[in-house]
């Protein structure tokens, strides 16, 4: 993928518009399916769960609305559906929260693990970076880390859900095969920085962590 | 300033805790000092001359000064003794005197910040691994209340004779309070 | 545009046009070293205390400002140093008649904005001149990354052996799966000593875990102890300057060498640059490092290189941050350790900035493995570029610490390391390394040539290893028992470094005779032509003779 000036201009205008507090125009006039916002309903403060058969998935505030897809254009609705499917395949249930306090993937996942009845949680950034976490680990440790967003594909999300569920059941699964693309950085890092700066604009410490369900 | 090994410190503390008389404590301290001096291990200041770059590296130029936490010299630490089980991991740890020497060398080459770090490090040799890790984690953001941090500073001063470390922790407690980095601030 | 110009069609396909470039965006700090929001230099001292720094009164200091004011600024020299015009100061940096010691006497009196102002006056050649004069250790050294995508141990050991044999004085590993950390650390400890005695090894993982491995004697030093230039990002990194300073002393208390890590672009990458330029924030990181009393720093953008690499002047800023590090009298492991471009031309140009003047470690992670196996997400140059590097050293008579080798030598050290690793696995209770793995690791290009291991079993064994309380001494005993006496001696030799503490000093490396060379006994004394490090004599003879050179006698 090559960043064109038009793309940049669009992203920057959009962000600057939001920073000024203006009602942001929809991301793109010529919206395709992947641009459809995720239909998330916020249900009030998230509670710590007691169900040992749940895995909690935390996403940051902009997830599903701005933007609506990962850095390699997987719609956020698909991301969540795949993770949930992976968890359900193992007979467990997925619970979603939106964390308004952090856009750091490690802390996001760590917060999910703290809320999770099983002690296992997943954090997913809008661009696709993900972590499987366990509540007793230090925040910057992890069970599995998927640091390169351009390599996290739809199947990976399902595998992440599946493995998280296995950890929740006390199993010791084969980790999702690690992928590495040394050329992801030169191609995507500048863009990732732009996207992340967008992501943090939506943080709101007053709102803390909210339970969400898909409408 | 005179430095003690971990065991010597523990011994002194135990005696104090036992309600040992001041005389007994004094004699214990004197014994330890005499032993240190007879081994040529007294703190450098009392030798009348500070170490500088000309003594560096100590492991070559001042082998006489370098001893492990349990008093082994570099040449005493041999593969044969390791294989025979005569040397354990605790025998090959650094000790405060060594870090005090390195502190002097750092000062002599105009590296006061590094010297301060080595001074804190010297104090920390007296803190067990697990407790040291806990203390570090406790200083991370949002982990402790101000009072808990002050208690930790007191522990550093009283239990481990670590005033430089305690000073750092007290300073952190004030800064965390001002900048909302204490437990419950998030 | 219906009809394309053919040259433009060709240009469009060039590697450089796969890179991402972005225009400066001052408001979020997407700017290399010249933001209108960067503060103006200034310092007020009352009763020996900093009361205002770069226009901010102490009542408004954030954590980082407080730490720098309390621990880094030397109030005794501040008035003299701050009074020097920035342009005059910049001229001192390149003047061969002004010694490094004189400059380093003054620098502790400078504020972050003042240092930025000085560096902004310098072009890249002048910055390189400053690096040549001011780096702490006289002899340049190098560091390699040794990792693989499967975390497969025999290959890690073999690659570590090849790396140290080729000349890298430091080897760094990390993990694909975090829980593999202790096993990977052991692979480097063993492999590193097989290739060359005295090699320093480390394993970059979460801070507390990294310290634990050091305490057990599985690593010789630590590096990935990250610091950041804004409070919010520092806290997102789960630390404060005080916790990091405490951690630094904790390492030294166990006799373990360590340096911090930072780099331009990390704050904007993490979304909190507070409108400041990348270099301004990086200078704050360097001053935190200095204030914490840490001997050195890995910087040069590091994992965020795609960010400065995407904006104008970014690579100049990356060199400037390396220079700022040595200016503050710290060891510098100077980056070149992450892919930032598809273009081999850009790649090499970026690397020359550190290679030509020489730094304490020219690369803080040359990929000693093919880049597909590099779990730091790739380095600027990898194992496929070894011969290019040897020729560059020979072309320019310039040293990056590598040496020519033969295939036979490399096969031998790789095989020995893999076998030593196999023996240790048997003793410490890790799942066996098969003969097939040893053979594959000996001849492998990368992990694609390795059989898969049972990862859940490895991970379970690692958990038990950590609980067992085993240490570096158990590795020594295991090696000795299986006939690897020389390797056992070397691993013990590395453990003994922690007793003397000599390698805790600035820019320390350990040579093949276990002699420590640091900024104290190998002090950089550059004062123009004829001084400082010169690639000549025996070392130059060694580097001249690459195997592919034809002798006149052979024809």
CATH number at residue A88: 3.40.50.10150
The C-alpha of A205 sits at a distance from chain B's nearest C-alpha, in angstroms, of 8
Q: What's the mean pLDDT in C379-406?
A: 98
* Predicted pLDDT at C2: 86
In a domain, B152, yes or no: yes
Indicate which CATH number applies to the domain containing B185. Answer: 1.10.1510.20
C151 vs C175: CA distance, rounded Å: 6
Tell me which residue range forms the domain holding A69: 41-214
* Predicted pLDDT at C349: 97
* Predicted pLDDT at B36: 46
Q: What's the mean pLDDT in A58-80?
A: 93
* Predicted pLDDT at B1: 36
- For residue B148, give the 3-state DSSP assignment: helix
Are residue B101 and residue B153 in the same domain, yes or no? no
Using the CB atoms, write b or e for A159-187: b if 16+ within 10 Å.
bbbbbbbbbbbeeebebbebbbbbbbbbb
Neighbours of C513 (CB within 10 A): 8
pLDDT-above-90 percentage for chain C: 95
The 10s digit of each residue's pLDDT in C445-484 is 999 999 999 999 999 999 999 999 999 999 999 999 999 9
Q: What's the mean pLDDT in C293-304?
A: 96
B185 vs A197: CA distance, rounded Å: 24
**More confident of the two residues A31 and A155:** A155
List of chains touching A (3+ CB pairs within 8 A): B, C
Neighbours of B108 (CB within 10 A): 17
Mutate which of C243, C507, C519 to disrupt the B interface (most B C-beta within 10 Å)?
C243
Q: Do A182 and C307 touch (CB under 8 A)?
A: no
Retrieve residue A134's tokens.
């366990």
Do residues A214 and A96 touch, judged by C-beta distance below 8 A?
yes
Instruction: Give the closest residue to B124 by CA, choosing from B10, B39, B6.
Output: B6
**Count of positions (residues) in chain C:** 555
Are residue B61 and residue B119 in the same domain, yes or no? yes
What's CA C320's distance to the chain center, in Å? 16
Active site residues of C: 143, 145, 172, 223, 298, 337, 364
Q: Do C501 and B77 touch (CB under 8 A)?
A: no
B11 vs C160: CA distance, rounded Å: 44
Are residue B110 and residue B139 in the same domain, yes or no? no
Are residue B49 and residue B120 in the same domain, yes or no? yes
Q: What's the mean pLDDT in C365-371?
A: 97
Torsion of the alpha carbons at C441, C445, C446 and C451, rounded to the nearest 10? -50
**Count of positions (residues) in chain B:** 186
B27, HSE (Cβ side, Cα atoms, 13 Å): 4
Backbone region of residue A207 per phi and psi (left: phi > 0; alpha: psi in -120 to 50; beta: other values): alpha
Residue appearing with tokens 């992450």: C338
Q: Which of A148, A180, A193 sits opposite C372 (nearest CB)?
A: A180
Inform me whether the pLDDT recorded for C159 exceeds 50: yes
C364 vs C353: CA distance, rounded Å: 14
Q: What's the mean pLDDT in C318-331?
A: 98
- For residue B73, give the 3-state DSSP assignment: strand
In a domain, A32, yes or no: no
Are residue B52 and residue B112 in the same domain, yes or no? yes
- Classify residue A42 as exposed, middle or buried by CB count within 10 Å of its CB (0-12, 13-18, 19+): middle
Query: What H or E segment, with its residue span, contains residue C45?
Result: strand C43-46
Q: Do B137 and A101 touch (CB under 8 A)?
A: no
Q: How confident is the model at residue A215 (pLDDT cuts 50, 70, 90)?
A: confident
- Per CB-CB distance under 8 Å, the chain A contacts of C374 are 180, 182
* Predicted pLDDT at B39: 43
DSSP C450: S
* Predicted pLDDT at A206: 86
C82 vs C88: CA distance, rounded Å: 11
- Per CB-CB distance under 8 Å, the chain C contacts of B82 are 473, 476-477, 480, 492
C174 vs C103: CA distance, rounded Å: 37
Q: B137 touching A, CB under 8 A?
A: yes
Are residue B143 and residue B89 in the same domain, yes or no? no
**Count of positions (residues) in chain A:** 215
Using the CB atoms, write b or e for C320-340: b if 16+ within 10 Å.
bbbbbbbbbbbbbbbbbbbbb
Instruction: Give the closest residue to C440 by CA, choosing from C425, C450, C453, C427.
Output: C450
Q: Do C378 and A199 touch (CB under 8 A)?
A: no
Are residue B56 and residue B113 in the same domain, yes or no? yes
The C-alpha of C487 sits at a distance from chain B's nearest C-alpha, in angstroms, of 11
Q: B179 touching A, CB under 8 A?
A: no
Q: What's the mean pLDDT in C357-369?
A: 98
Query: What average pLDDT does chain C have?
Result: 97
The C-alpha of C371 sits at a distance from chain A's nearest C-alpha, in angstroms, of 6
The 10s digit of each residue's pLDDT in C497-531 is 999 999 999 999 999 999 999 999 999 999 999 99
Inform me whether the pLDDT recorded for C238 exceeds 80: yes
Q: Do A101 and B186 touch (CB under 8 A)?
A: yes
- Per CB-CB distance under 8 Å, the chain B contacts of C207 are 136
Query: What H or E segment, with its residue span, contains residue C517?
Result: strand C516-517
C191 vs C420: CA distance, rounded Å: 8
User: What is the residue-wise DSSP string for C330-392?
Assistant: -EEE----S---S-HHHHHHHHHHHHTT--SEEEEEEESS-GGG-TTT--SS-GGGHHHHHHH
Q: Do A186 and C379 touch (CB under 8 A)?
A: no
- Per CB-CB distance under 8 Å, the chain B contacts of A138 are 137
Instruction: Give the closest residue to A11 by CA, choosing from C273, C309, C22.
Output: C22
Retrieve residue C548's tokens.
């592919």
* Predicted pLDDT at A74: 96
In a domain, B20, yes or no: yes
- Count structural domains, chain B: 3
Are residue B38 and residue B58 in the same domain, yes or no? no
pLDDT-above-70 percentage for chain C: 100
In a domain, B60, yes or no: yes
In order of their start, the domains of chain C are: 43-131 (1.10.220.70), 135-206+213-219+334-523 (3.20.20.350)
Q: B186 touching A, CB under 8 A?
A: yes
- Cα-atom radius of gyration of chain B, to the nearest Å? 19
Q: How confident is the model at residue A7 (pLDDT cuts 50, 70, 90)?
A: low
Q: What is the pTM of this model?
A: 0.89
Three-state SS string over A94-134 comes to EEEEEECCCCCHHHHHHHHHHHCCCCEEEEECCCCCEEEEE
Mutate which of C136, C235, C255 to disrupt the B interface (most B C-beta within 10 Å)?
C255
pLDDT-above-90 percentage for chain A: 63
A191 vs A11: CA distance, rounded Å: 10
* Predicted pLDDT at A11: 53
Q: Do C242 and B168 touch (CB under 8 A)?
A: yes
Are residue B102 and residue B154 in the same domain, yes or no? no
Q: How confident is the model at residue A194 (pLDDT cuts 50, 70, 90)?
A: confident
Among the listed ranges A95-99, B46-50, B62-66, B172-176, which one has the minimum average pLDDT value?
B46-50
Q: Which residues contact B30 (CB under 8 A, 6 or more apart)?
A: none
Three-state SS string over chain A comes to CCCCHHHHHHHHHHHHHHHCCCCCCCCCCCCCHHHCCCCEEEEEECCCCCCCCEEEEEECCCCCCCCCECCCCCEHHHHHHHHHHHHHHCCCEEEEEEECCCCCHHHHHHHHHHHCCCCEEEEECCCCCEEEEECCCCCCCCCEEECCHHHCCHHHHHHHHHHHHHHHCCCCCCCCCCCCCCCHHHHHHHHHHHHHHHHHHCCCHHHCEEEEEEC
The C-alpha of C12 sits at a distance from chain B's nearest C-alpha, in angstroms, of 48
* Predicted pLDDT at A193: 83
- Per CB-CB distance under 8 Å, the chain B contacts of A101 are 186
**How large is the ipTM?**
0.96
B168 vs B135: CA distance, rounded Å: 12
- Count structural domains, chain A: 1
Q: A7 touching C, CB under 8 A?
A: no
Mutate which of C178, C369, C462 to disrupt the A interface (most A C-beta within 10 Å)?
C178
Q: How confident is the model at residue C132 (pLDDT cuts 50, 70, 90)?
A: very high
User: Chain A: residue nearest B138 by CA?
Assistant: A138
Do residues C117 and C86 touch, judged by C-beta distance below 8 A?
yes
Q: A107 touching C, CB under 8 A?
A: yes
Do residues C307 and C315 touch, judged by C-beta distance below 8 A?
no
Are residue B113 and residue B150 in the same domain, yes or no? no
* Predicted pLDDT at B7: 53
List of chains touching C (3+ CB pairs within 8 A): A, B
Q: A174 touching C, CB under 8 A?
A: yes
Q: Which residues contact A179 (CB under 8 A, 6 or more apart)?
A: A148, A151, A156, C149
Query: What average pLDDT does chain B have?
Result: 84
Tell me which residue range forms the domain holding B151: 128-186
C514 vs C527: CA distance, rounded Å: 29
Query: What H or E segment, with its residue span, contains residue C226?
Result: strand C221-226
In a domain, B4, yes or no: no
Helix C455-468 vs helix C181-195: crossing angle, to nearest 10: 80
- Per CB-CB distance under 8 Å, the chain A contacts of C372 are 180, 182
- Taking one residue from A and the other from C, the number of pairs with CB-CB distance under 8 angstroms is 143
Q: A200 touching C, CB under 8 A?
A: yes
pLDDT-above-70 percentage for chain B: 74
CA angle C15, C20, C21 (to 5 degrees): 110
Q: What's the mean pLDDT in A19-44?
A: 57
Residues 115-134 in B contacting A (C-alpha not used; CB under 8 Å):
none
In a domain, B1, yes or no: no
Q: How confident is the model at residue A115 (pLDDT cuts 50, 70, 90)?
A: very high
Inform me whether the pLDDT recorded for A17 exceeds 70: no
Mutate which of A10, A148, A189, A200 to disrupt the C interface (most C C-beta within 10 Å)?
A189
Do residues A189 and A181 touch, judged by C-beta distance below 8 A?
no
Q: B184 touching A, CB under 8 A?
A: no
pLDDT-above-70 percentage for chain A: 84
* Predicted pLDDT at B46: 36
User: Chain C: residue nearest B122 by CA?
Assistant: C253
Neighbours of A48 (CB within 10 A): 10
- Per CB-CB distance under 8 Å, the chain C contacts of A181 are 377-378
In a domain, B115, yes or no: yes
- Alpha-helix residue ranges (DSSP H) falling in C83-123: 86-94, 100-106, 112-120
The C-alpha of B87 sits at a distance from chain C's nearest C-alpha, in angstroms, of 9
CA angle B116, C266, C336 (to 5 degrees): 85
In a domain, A169, yes or no: yes
Are residue B48 and residue B113 in the same domain, yes or no? yes
Mutate which of A7, A134, A184, A193 to disrupt the C interface (most C C-beta within 10 Å)?
A193
Q: How confident is the model at residue B26 (pLDDT cuts 50, 70, 90)?
A: low
User: Chain C: residue nearest A7 by CA?
Assistant: C22
* Predicted pLDDT at A196: 85
In a domain, A45, yes or no: yes
In a domain, A143, yes or no: yes
Residues 42-81 in A contacting C (C-alpha not used; CB under 8 Å):
none
C340 vs C395: CA distance, rounded Å: 25
Q: Do A140 and C304 touch (CB under 8 A)?
A: no
Are residue B38 and residue B63 in the same domain, yes or no? no
């Amino acid at each position: 993928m090559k960043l064109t000036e038009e793309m940049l201009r669009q992203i920057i205008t959009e962000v600057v518009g939001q920073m000024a507090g203006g009602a942001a125009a929809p991301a793109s006039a010529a919206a395709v399916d992947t641009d459809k916002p995720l239909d998330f309903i916020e249900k009030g403060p998230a509670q710590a769960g007691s169900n040992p058969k749940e895995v909690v998935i935390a996403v940051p505030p902009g997830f599903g609305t701005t933007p609506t897809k990962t850095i390699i254009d997987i719609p956020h609705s698909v991301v969540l559906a795949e993770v949930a499917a992976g968890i359900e395949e193992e007979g467990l249930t997925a619970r979603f929260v939106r964390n308004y306090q952090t856009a750091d993937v490690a802390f996001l996942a760590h917060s999910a693990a703290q809320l999770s009845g099983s002690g296992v949680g997943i954090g997913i950034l809008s661009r696709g970076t993900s972590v499987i976490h366990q509540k007793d680990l230090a925040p910057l440790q992890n069970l599995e880390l998927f640091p390169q967003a351009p390599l996290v594909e739809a199947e990976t999300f399902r595998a992440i859900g599946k493995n998280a569920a296995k950890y929740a059941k006390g199993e010791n699964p084969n980790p999702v095969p690690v992928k590495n693309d040394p050329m992801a950085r030169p191609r995507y890092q500048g863009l990732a920085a732009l996207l992340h700066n967008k992501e943090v604009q939506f943080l709101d410490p007053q709102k803390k962590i909210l339970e969400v369900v898909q409408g | 300033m005179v430095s003690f090994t971990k065991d010597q410190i523990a011994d002194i503390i135990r005696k104090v805790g036992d309600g040992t008389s001041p005389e007994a404590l004094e004699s214990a301290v004197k014994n330890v000092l005499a032993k240190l001096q007879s081994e040529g291990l007294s703190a450098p200041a009392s030798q009348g001359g500070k170490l500088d770059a000309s003594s560096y590296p100590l492991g070559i130029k001042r082998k006489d000064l370098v001893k492990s936490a349990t008093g082994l010299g570099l040449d005493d630490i041999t593969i044969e003794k390791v294989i025979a089980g005569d040397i354990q991991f605790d025998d090959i740890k650094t000790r405060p005197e060594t870090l005090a020497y390195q502190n002097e060398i750092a000062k002599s080459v105009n590296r006061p910040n590094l010297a301060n770090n080595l001074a804190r490090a010297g104090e920390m040799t007296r803190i067990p691994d697990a407790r040291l890790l806990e203390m570090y984690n406790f200083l991370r953001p949002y982990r402790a209340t101000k009072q808990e941090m002050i208690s930790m500073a007191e522990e550093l001063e009283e239990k481990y004779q670590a005033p430089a470390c305690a000073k750092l922790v007290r300073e952190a407690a004030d800064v965390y309070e001002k900048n909302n980095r204490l437990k419950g601030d998030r | 545009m219906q009809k394309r110009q053919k040259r433009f069609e060709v240009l469009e396909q060039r590697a450089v046009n796969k890179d991402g470039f972005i225009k400066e965006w001052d408001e979020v700090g997407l700017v290399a070293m010249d933001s209108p929001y960067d503060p103006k230099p200034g310092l007020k001292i009352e009763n020996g205390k900093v009361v205002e720094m770069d226009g901010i009164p102490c009542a408004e200091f954030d954590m980082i400002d407080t730490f720098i004011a309390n621990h880094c600024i030397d109030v005794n020299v501040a008035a003299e140093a701050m009074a020097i015009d920035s342009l005059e100061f910049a001229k001192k940096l390149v003047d061969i008649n002004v010694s490094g010691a004189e400059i380093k006497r003054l620098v502790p009196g400078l504020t972050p904005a003042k240092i930025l102002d000085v560096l902004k006056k310098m072009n890249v050649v002048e910055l390189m001149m400053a690096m040549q004069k001011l780096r702490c250790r006289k002899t340049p050294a190098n560091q390699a990354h040794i990792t693989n995508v499967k975390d497969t141990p025999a290959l890690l050991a073999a690659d570590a052996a090849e790396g140290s044999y080729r000349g890298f004085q430091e080897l760094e590993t990390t993990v694909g799966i975090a829980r593999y950390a202790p096993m990977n650390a052991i692979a480097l400890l063993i492999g590193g000593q097989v290739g060359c005695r005295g090699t320093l090894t480390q394993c970059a993982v979460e801070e507390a875990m990294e310290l634990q491995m050091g305490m057990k004697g599985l690593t010789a030093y630590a590096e990935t102890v990250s610091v950041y230039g804004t409070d919010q990002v520092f806290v997102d990194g789960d630390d404060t300057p005080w916790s990091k300073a405490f951690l630094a002393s904790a390492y030294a208390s166990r006799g373990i060498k360590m340096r911090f890590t930072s780099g331009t672009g990390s704050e904007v990458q993490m979304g909190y640059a507070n409108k400041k330029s990348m270099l301004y924030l990086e200078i704050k990181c360097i001053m935190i490092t200095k204030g914490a009393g840490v001997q050195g720093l890995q910087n040069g953008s590091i994992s965020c290189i795609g960010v400065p690499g995407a904006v104008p002047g970014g690579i100049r800023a990356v060199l400037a941050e390396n220079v700022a590090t040595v200016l503050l009298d710290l060891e510098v492991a100077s980056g070149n350790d992450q892919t930032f471009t598809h273009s081999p031309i850009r790649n090499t140009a970026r690397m020359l900035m550190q290679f030509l003047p020489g730094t304490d470690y020219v690369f803080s992670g040359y990929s000693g493995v093919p880049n597909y196996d590099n779990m730091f997400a790739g380095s600027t140059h990898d194992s496929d570029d070894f011969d290019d590097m040897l020729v560059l050293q020979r072309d320019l008579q310039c040293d990056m610490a590598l040496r020519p080798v033969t295939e036979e030598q490399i096969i031998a050290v790789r095989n020995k390391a893999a076998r030593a690793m196999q023996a240790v696995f048997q003793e410490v209770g890790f799942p066996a390394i098969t003969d097939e793995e040893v053979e594959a690791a000996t001849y492998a290009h990368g992990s694609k040539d390795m059989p898969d291991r049972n990862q859940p079993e490895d991970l379970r064994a690692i958990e038990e290893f950590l609980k067992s309380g085993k240490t570096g001494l158990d590795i020594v005993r295991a090696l000795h028992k299986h006939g690897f006496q020389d390797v056992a001696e070397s691993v013990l030799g590395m453990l003994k470094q922690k007793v003397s503490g000599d390698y805790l000093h600035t820019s320390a490396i350990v040579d093949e005779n276990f002699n420590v060379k640091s900024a104290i006994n190998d002090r950089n004394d550059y004062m123009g032509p004829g001084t400082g490090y010169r690639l000549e004599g025996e070392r130059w003879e060694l580097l001249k003779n690459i195997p592919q050179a034809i002798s006149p006698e052979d024809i």
